[in-house]
């Protein structure tokens, strides 16, 4: 398990990388920082498209980057949405993709520009995940 200091540091990485988001259509930037089992932090941002449906969320881009780098086991995820005051959690599609590579108790923190932070787990965000036992990782 990671401690509060590690999660704080991971969240700062998410805040920093959110500035790289490509979000000219929604003006809603998202940064995701994934802590891998070997200590590497892999980041992702949302990448929008003028054909709106082609948009890919920050969380899925972070997972895809990590898998590309050969990392398959994740210890924690932090998500920053600086364009909302309130925390905005991962969308349903991202919850499913995150859960492919994590234990249900993997911690997730998300926060907007305000003071409120949500500290939860992928199991709480994707409950009754009955396909979890099919995981191959
Ligand atoms: N977005 C993410 O990157 N992650 C989420 O979990 C929620 C939504 C992006 C998609 C789109 O570029 C923008 O935020 C507004 O929905």
Task: Give the nearest ligand 1 atom to 91 CA.
Answer: 6
Task: Give the nearest ligand 1 atom to 90 CA.
Answer: 6
> What tokens were used for 128?
């009754």
- What is the model's pTM? 0.96
Q: What is the rounded CA–CA span in Å between residue 64 and residue 105? A: 21
Q: 93 and 62 in contact (C-beta within 8 Å)? A: no
Indicate the helix (H) or strand (E) that contains 74.
strand 74-80
Close Cβ partners of 123 (under 8 Å, ≥ 6 residues apart): 103, 104, 105, 106, 129
Neighbours of 86 (CB within 10 A): 12
- Domain total in the chain: 1
Distance of CA 97 to the CA centre of its chain: 10
Active-site entry in 59, 86, 100, 124: 59
Domain with 93, as residue range(s), is 4-135
| CA distances for 21 relative to 29, 92, 114, 136, angstroms | 5, 20, 19, 31
> What tokens were used for 120?
């939860």
Residue 135 has pLDDT above 90, yes or no: no
> What mean pLDDT, rounded, does the chain reach?
96
- pLDDT tens-digit profile of 11-60? 999 999 999 999 999 999 999 999 999 999 999 999 999 999 999 999 99
| Residue with token string 């259509």 | 25
Give the model's pLDDT for residue 137.
65
CATH number at residue 119: 3.40.140.10
């Amino acid at each position: 398990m990671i401690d509060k200091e590690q999660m704080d540091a991971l969240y700062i990485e998410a805040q920093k990388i959110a500035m790289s988001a490509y979000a000219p259509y929604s003006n809603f930037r998202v940064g995701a920082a994934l802590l891998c089992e070997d200590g590497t932090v892999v980041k992702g941002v949302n990448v929008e498209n003028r054909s709106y449906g082609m948009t890919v969320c920050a969380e899925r881009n972070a997972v895809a980057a990590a898998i590309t780098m050969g990392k398959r086991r994740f210890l924690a995820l932090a998500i920053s949405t600086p364009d909302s005051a309130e925390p905005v959690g991962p969308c349903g599609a991202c919850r499913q993709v995150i859960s492919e590579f994590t234990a249900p108790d993997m911690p997730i923190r998300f926060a907007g520009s305000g003071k409120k932070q949500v500290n939860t787990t992928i199991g709480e965000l994707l409950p009754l995940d009955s396909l979890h036992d099919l995981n191959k990782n």
